Amino acid sequence: MNSTVVSLAGTPAASPLGYFSWTFGQAARDPYYIMVIIYIFYPYFSNTVVGDPVRGQALIGYITAAAGFLLALTAPFLGAIADKDGRRKPWLVATVLLMTAGALCLWYVEPEGRGIGLPAAVMVLFVVKVCFTVCEVFHNAMLPSIAPVNRIGLISGLAFSLGNVGGLLLMLFVLFAFSMPGTQSWAFLPEAPLLGIDQSTHEHNRIVGPIAGVWMMIFMLPVLLYTPDGKPSTSPMWQVAKEGVQDVLQTLRHIRHYANVARYLLARLFFIDGMVGVLTFGGVYASGTFGWDTTTLLIFGLCTSASAMFGAYVGGLLDDRVGSKRALQIAIGTSSLVLLTLVSVQPDTILYVVEVGSEPVWNSPYFATLPELFYFCTNQIFAMFFVTGLSTSRTLMAKLSPPELATQFFGLFALSATVTAFLAPLLVATATDFFDSQRIGFGSLAALMIIGAVLLLKVREEQATVAESG
C-alpha cells in the first residue's frame, strides 16, 4: 500500500515542516504591506512628504499603477522561466534582498525636499512594489507542489493569518516604542521614544521601513531552509527562458478549452484588484479625511489586522459550509457594500446625508467623533471579508483546476493577480485627479468588485478534467 501523500501538482507533497515553513513567507512579506503601504508610511508620504492628501493619493496611485503595468508584462514570463528551471528560491532571495534595501532607504524619505528627495522616494517605492509582487508570485507558485491536496485550504488560510499576526506584532512594537511615548502619560509607556527617535522629524514614521526590511529577511529564512524547491534544469538559461515563454503562450492557448476556469480567472482580474485597492488606499483615505496621526493609524491598523485574522477563520467556515464560490460571492458583495459605506463618511456626516456633527462623543484621544467611530467599525467588517475573499479565491482555484495541470493553472492564477494590477491604482489616481476628490477616487474601486461579482455568477464550482481539451 502506497502511503505517499500527494500534492495538488500530483507529486509527493513536502513534509509538514516543509509546507508549514512555506507559510512563513507570507509572515515575512505581509508586515511590509501592512505597515508601509496601508497604515503608516504611505499616509505619511501622502500627507506630509507630498503635503497634499488629494495629490498624495493620486501620486501613490500612479506609482502603484506603473509597477502593476510592468508586472503585467513581465511577471508571467518570469514565473514560467522559474517553473522550467525548477527553482523558486533564487528569485525569492533576489527580491527579498532588493526589498530590504529599498525598505532601509525609506528612513531617508523626509518632507520639504530633505533626505533623498521626492523623485528618489518615488523610485524606491516603485522598485519595492515591483519586487514585492514578484516575490509573491514565486512564493505562491511553490504551493501546488508542496501542499497535500487535502490541506491546501488550511495552509493557505494559515499563511494569511501569520501574515496578519506579523503585521500586528510589529505595529504594536512601533506604537508602544516609538509613536505613543511622550504623547500619553500612561504608566506602561516609556517616557520618551526608544532609540532616541525624534517624532518632530517624523522618525517614528520613517523607521517602519527598516523594521519591515529586517523582519522580512529573518522570517523568509524558514522558507529558504526547510521548504523544498524544484530541481535545477540542466539546460542553458537561454533555453530555459525560451521554453518558459513558450509554456506561457501554450497555457494561454489551452485556456479556451477550459471555459469555466477562464470565466473564473476573468472575474478574478476585477474583484481581486478592487479588494486589494481598498486595502491599499484605506489608510491614505482615512488620514486625509480625518487628519489621523501615526498613533491613531497604528491603533486602526492593529484592530484591522485582528479582524483580518478572524476573517481567515470565518473564510474557512464559510468555505466548508456553503462552498468556495458562494463564500467568495459573500466576501465580494460585502466588501463592495462596505466600501460604499466607508466613502459615505465625512468629518461631520455618515451615510452621505446624515449630519451628526464633529463633536467628541466619548472621552478618548482616538476615534472620538461619531464619524470616526463609524468609519473604524465599518472598516473592521471589510478586513474580515477581504481575507475571506483572498483565502477562498485561492481555494476555489484549486477546486476548479484539473489536477494534472495544477501547476500551469496556478501560473494563470498568479497571472490574473498581476495582469491588471495597474487597473485599481490607475482608476483611483485618475478619478482622484479628475474630480479633485479623495472620496470619488477611493469609491471608484466598487466598480471593479461589482464587475467581478457579475462575471463570477457564470462560474460553476466543479473541477475541470484534461479530457475537456480534447
Query: What residues are paired with 148 via a beta bridge?
Result: 7
pTM value is 0.82
Write the DSSP symbol of residue 49: I
How high is the pLDDT of residue 410? 66
How high is the pLDDT of residue 347? 92
Range of the domain at 264: 16-469
- Residue 115 has phi, psi (to 5 degrees) of 75, -135
CATH of the domain at 187: 1.20.1250.20
Residue for cell digits 522558507? Answer: 223
How high is the pLDDT of residue 2? 45
How high is the pLDDT of residue 328? 92
Alpha carbon of residue 377 to chain centroid: 21
**Is 11 part of any domain?**
no
**Is 1 part of any domain?**
no
How high is the pLDDT of residue 167? 87
Residues 6+ apart with CB under 8 A from 294: 40, 44, 179, 204, 205
Number of domains, the chain: 1
**Is 3 part of any domain?**
no
Burial of 387 (0-12, 13-18, 19+ CB in 10 A): buried
**Is 2 part of any domain?**
no
Alpha carbon of residue 341 to chain centroid: 22
Over the chain (470 residues), the average pLDDT of each successive run of 10 is 65 86 92 90 93 92 89 72 74 93 95 89 94 85 81 79 86 91 79 89 94 95 90 65 69 72 88 90 91 90 83 77 89 95 94 90 88 94 88 82 65 68 89 94 95 93 57
Q: Considering only CA atoms, which of 147, 178, 152, 156 is closest in space to residue 23?
A: 156
How high is the pLDDT of residue 322? 85
How high is the pLDDT of residue 162? 87
In angstroms, the CA 111 to CA 48 distance is: 6
